[in-house]
Amino acid sequence: MPTYEYVCMECREKTDVFASIAEKEKWLKLKCPKCGGKKMVQFFGRMNVMGSRGDMGGFSGCGPQSGAGCC
């Protein structure tokens, strides 16, 4: 089952959500476990990509707390 990362736009708490693709397509009704807020936005965190020479390139994520030049 896929894991999705969400962040609460009220308190900035990050939460992992386990849901099937079908559940996600039907719109998940999420609530922040910390503050109970309902403004949850999917967050795309860090990932590593294997380069053509076998080296790993790290990418910082895009989301509410990312730095300058994001996306």
Residue 69 resides in a domain:
no
Looking at the domain assignment, is residue 71 inside a domain?
no
Core vs surface per residue 42-60: b (16+ CB within 10 A) or e: ebeeeeeeeeeeeeeeeee
- Residue 28: domain span: 3-59
Residue 31 lies in a domain: yes
49-67 per-position pLDDT tens digit: 555 555 444 444 555 555 5
Q: Does 12 map to a domain?
A: yes
Q: Is the pTM for the entire model greater than 0.85?
A: no
- Assigned domain for 11 exists: yes
Number of structural domains (the chain) is 1
pLDDT confidence bin for 44, thresholds 50/70/90: confident
- Does residue 66 sit within a domain? no
